[in-house]
Amino acid sequence: MLKSVYQGLANACSMVDCCFGLRPCHQAVFPCIRSCSYGDRKVFYNYDGTETVEPLVDYFKPTNTPVKRNMIRGMKLDKAELKQGLNPVQQIAAVVRFAQQNDLKVRAVGTGSSWSKLTNVRDVLIDMTDLNKILRVEKQTEDGSLYHIEVQGGMKLHDFVRVIDEDYGMSLPCMGNYAGQTIAGIISTSTHGTGQDYPTMSNFVAELHMIICGGIEVRIRIPREGETDEDFETVRQRVEAAKYGDPVLDIHSTDVFRAAAVGFGSLGVIYSVTLTCVPVYNIRETRHYVEMEWPESTAESRPVTQAPSRACSRSSLSAELPSSDTDSASGESIPTTSGTCQDQKSVFRIPETMKSMSAGQGKYFSFFVNPFPRRSRGDPQRTVLKSVYLSGERTDATGSCQCDCCLNFQCCACTGCRGQSACQIVQTDCSASCLQLGAHCLPSFIPWFADCGLHQFARDAPYIQKWYNVLTFTNGNLHIKTAEYCIPLEDLDAALADIIKVLQDYGKLYQTYTLLPIYVRMVKADDLYMSPANRHTADGGLCDRYCYIEVPFLPGAYGIDEFHKKLEDFLFTKYRARPHWSKNNFLSYNRVERLYPHLDRWRRVYTLFNRDGTFDNEFTRKCGFDDFHLLEGAEDKLREKGAEWSRRSDGEERSRSLERGSPTHDRPIAAPAQKDSGLGCRCSSGGGESTLAPDVIVTQPGPSSSSSSHSRLLDASEFTLEGTDVAPRSQPSEGDVSR
């Protein structure tokens, strides 16, 4: 008897963690596995437990208390440093320098609110969650309408918005519907809220305080009026000359700031963030059901790979906005089923009633859609999608209860509140398990199960509450796994119809369905190089408004990754959709290169701040960023050789001038037509080949009409490296999707 009990316990505990054996039962008991371990080595779980990080060297947690000891295994700090004690910035800097000296990989982590391997690291994990203080508050205008608040990167958004409200009467212009991330994590992944006048939250950043490779401290911001905007080469020289222990290096560069504002933790460790804040406000939100017409031809006739023509499919939500320079994110013209735009009944369109709600200054607008069509109750001849919109605007009214319970926990009993969606007890994996079980037993009721997510938000009375309570739906109690795609707003109608059709076809084929509604939000475009909402589209056009379409699944759902991959591939091919960096995605280098026109500018900052690969991890490997180090080395050799050619040619010219008795002139001296560099590199200025290494070929672009008579110095950026998988890729042709 005892033997059988022992064997049963042993089998139950052989599945990663002692409670993990119960997770197949809809993950109902996930939170308890965080405290389980077989030894003294700390294991980090992302927020739903689907990813683990087991750092081989150490798991380090910096604190605001001065530290007088060696912080990680193998570290030996100077006795003078230890005697004085290290503040949190010095703690991080010392760990980063130690990692660089010992060829270790380092990654900073917060709450792990991602599924894209952002936190995965081999050697040292830095847990920032104890660095959660407000450091500085500065008024920026005389009337107090604008403040800069500096906060440590490990503070949770949920705590930050309440502290600045209670202590300073301040708020952020906007925020997302989940408040469990850290401040550094939010801006590193370009997290967003909703509203056509609000960009992603990375755009609220005024300054970044970071520790980059070698333990060097930098402060990065856009130059103020009257200050010089440093170019990248100036920044490069200053960073390369900096050393560990030097005073903070202030960088006032628009170029560097646009790269660092969305850096994925790959440029360094963000110690603190200075955010632009405004006076606190309330929001009045109205929420109502809307039936969206679902054309029969959409469900039956049109294949998934087709969409209405651009003239028909342009989103009604963007009709009142200035049009961008291009009509298509993908550059394709796809006909409707009928071949004309006159048959509007064959085209899925978002109701016109939503257009006026989404437009307008300062509006916070989003909507949910149940992806399962059904017959309308009022008119059985119509096939409709059930939807709920949420339209909010700022107000001076107090409205709902402002007690501490309501402000901190989104009370589910206030007048006009969100009801069950605000109840923390309902927002659990146990509730998700009940829904999953019900759908398994009664598959024909799946559309009605999906209505549960809509019913929680639809209310007759408006919801008036502090801004963060209205904009936040959950604090992370329910471990939903989700993917989200950023698409030009003008493509919303067609893209949403295609996503719904893919969901339906996938469900019929594999009997896998989502029980949650699709969620759609809008944002304003920005100029941050790696922001999904960057105004420069993948096809070379411009876009001033984007929409985010989110496809969530309950925890324990089957085949989530396979479906998200299928959907991402489809949306990339057709719309050049940009996946959210921290949510479920399957990005590769080729795809990132095609989606982000300014990747090369971001690469320069990445290889400067992370020049030794200290902050590389599984995420950078997956996206191909690791190869940038090898590419940068090749370009450095080309720059060095170009300078050598210049000096050598200049000396020869001066010698000839002295022999002729004539003065030299300050002008560029061309490189010899073919000259051995001493590194096995022969270059020609007329489009010929030169060998950088036995298996690397350097090709200069062919000459223009005037280049045959006027030679110039060679620039490394004009070369294309071929024969190596770390070469800079040329821009693919518009139709080349296979790359």
pLDDT (tens digit per residue) in 512-526: 788 889 999 999 999
Identity of the highest mean pLDDT range in 114-118, 158-162, 555-559, 699-703: 158-162
Let me know if residue 507 belongs to a domain. yes
Query: Which bin fits 555, alpha (ψ -120 to 50), beta or left (φ > 0)?
Result: beta
* Token pair of 28 as six digits: 């109902």
Span 499-511, average pLDDT? 90
Hey, what amino acid is at 35? Answer: S
Total number of domains in the chain: 4
Let me know if residue 659 belongs to a domain. yes
pLDDT band with cut points at 50, 70 and 90 for residue 144: confident
Q: Are residues 569 and 496 in the same domain?
A: yes
Q: Are residues 610 and 636 in the same domain?
A: no
Q: What is the pLDDT of residue 411?
A: 61
Task: Report the distance separating Cα 398 and Cα 111, nearest Å.
Answer: 33
Give Cα separations from 649 to 295, 668, 670, 709, 735 (angstroms): 72, 10, 8, 18, 45
Q: Are residues 424 and 531 in the same domain?
A: yes
For residue 233, is pLDDT > 50? yes
How many C-beta atoms surround the C-beta of residue 207 within 10 A? 20
Least confident of 506-520, 566-580, 640-654: 640-654
Q: Are residues 389 and 303 in the same domain?
A: yes
**What is the domain range of residue 375?**
282-328+351-586
Q: What is the pLDDT of residue 420?
A: 62
Task: Report the distance separating Cα 180 and Cα 158, nearest Å.
Answer: 6
Gyration radius of the chain over CA positions: 28
For residue 298, is pLDDT > 80? no
Residues linked to residue 218 through DSSP beta bridges, in sequence order: 210, 249
**Final residue in a domain of this structure, among 577, 595, 625:** 625
Per DSSP (E only), the strands in 424-563 are 459-466, 481-488, 518-524, 545-553
Let me know if residue 513 belongs to a domain. yes
For residue 245, is pLDDT > 70? yes
Tokens 């170009």, located at residue = 642
* Token pair of 235 as six digits: 């920044």
The fraction of the chain above a pLDDT of 90, given in percent, is 49
Q: What is the dihedral of CA 291, 296, 302, 306, to 10 degrees?
A: -20
Contacts of 683 (CB under 8 A, 6+ apart): 641, 671, 674, 675, 677, 690, 698, 700, 714
* Token pair of 586 as six digits: 């399957």
Query: Which is more confidently placed, 324 or 57?
Result: 57
Q: What is the pLDDT of residue 397?
A: 87
281: phi then psi, degrees, rounded to nearest 5 = -150, 160
Q: Are residues 399 and 432 in the same domain?
A: yes
Q: What is the pLDDT of residues 598-615, one digit of tens each?
A: 999 999 999 999 999 999
Identify the CA nearest to 236 among candidates 209, 255, 264.
255
Task: Report the distance separating Cα 534 and Cα 540, nearest Å.
Answer: 12
Span 312-336, average pLDDT? 40
Query: Which is more confidently placed, 666 or 404?
Result: 404
Span 492-510, average pLDDT? 92
Task: Report the distance separating Cα 185 and Cα 108, nearest Å.
Answer: 9
Span 3-13, average pLDDT? 42
The fraction of the chain above a pLDDT of 70, given in percent, is 69
Q: What is the pLDDT of residue 357?
A: 82
Residues linked to residue 170 through DSSP beta bridges, in sequence order: 279
Q: What is the pLDDT of residues 120-132, one digit of tens each?
A: 999 999 999 999 9
Q: What is the pLDDT of residues 473-484, one digit of tens each?
A: 876 666 788 999
Q: What is the pLDDT of residue 477?
A: 66
Tokens 């206030």, located at residue = 414
Q: Are residues 403 and 435 in the same domain?
A: yes
Percent composition of the chain: helix, strand, coil (DSSP 3-state, to 5): 35, 20, 45
- DSSP reduced 3-state for 477: coil
- DSSP reduced 3-state for 589: helix
Task: Report the distance separating Cα 400 and Cα 397, nearest Å.
Answer: 9
| Cβ–Cβ under 8 Å, residues 463 and 287 | yes
Let me know if residue 547 belongs to a domain. yes
**b/e code 380-410 from CB counts within 10 Å (16+ = b):** eeebbbbbbbbbbbeeeeebbeeeeebbeeb
Q: Are residues 612 and 672 in the same domain?
A: no
For residue 295, is pLDDT > 50? yes
Q: What is the pLDDT of residues 401-415, one digit of tens each?
A: 666 666 565 566 665
In the 8-state DSSP scheme, what is residue 534? Answer: B
Let me know if residue 696 belongs to a domain. yes
Hey, what amino acid is at 414? Answer: C
- DSSP reduced 3-state for 563: helix
Q: In what order do the strands lie in the sheet with 696-699?
A: 689-693, 696-699, 720-722
- DSSP reduced 3-state for 653: helix
For residue 710, is pLDDT > 60? no
| Cβ–Cβ under 8 Å, residues 212 and 383 | no
Q: How many helices (H) and strands (E) does the chain have?
A: 20, 24
In the 8-state DSSP scheme, what is residue 342? Answer: S
Tokens 């490069």, located at residue = 236
Instruction: For helices 429-441 and 446-455, give the axis angle rounded to 10 degrees.
Output: 150
Identify the CA nearest to 263 among candidates 585, 536, 623, 547.
623
Q: What is the pLDDT of residue 692?
A: 36
Let me know if residue 335 belongs to a domain. no
| Cβ–Cβ under 8 Å, residues 156 and 185 | no
Q: Are residues 271 and 311 in the same domain?
A: no
For residue 699, is pLDDT > 50? no
Let me know if residue 733 belongs to a domain. no
Hey, what amino acid is at 732? Answer: P
Let me know if residue 727 belongs to a domain. no
Task: Report the distance separating Cα 603 and Cα 631, nearest Å.
Answer: 10
Q: What is the pLDDT of residue 685?
A: 38
**Final residue in a domain of this structure, among 586, 614, 645:** 586
| Cβ–Cβ under 8 Å, residues 207 and 373 | no
Q: Are residues 577 and 601 in the same domain?
A: no
Span 540-565, average pLDDT? 91
Least confident of 7-21, 62-76, 89-103, 171-185: 7-21
Q: Are residues 478 and 366 in the same domain?
A: yes
pLDDT band with cut points at 50, 70 and 90 for residue 434: confident
Query: Which is more confidently placed, 678 or 66?
Result: 66
Q: Are residues 459 and 526 in the same domain?
A: yes
Q: What is the pLDDT of residues 178-223, one digit of tens each?
A: 898 999 999 999 999 999 999 999 999 999 999 999 999 999 999 9
For residue 662, is pLDDT > 50? no
- DSSP reduced 3-state for 466: strand
Q: Are residues 416 and 504 in the same domain?
A: yes
For β-strands 170-171 and 58-60, DSSP reports them as: unpaired
Cα 555 versus chain centre, distance: 22
Task: Report the distance separating Cα 485 and Cα 322, nearest Å.
Answer: 22
492: domain CATH number? 3.40.462
Tokens 């030299």, located at residue = 664
Task: Report the distance separating Cα 190 and Cα 41, nearest Å.
Answer: 32
Q: What is the pLDDT of residue 646?
A: 59
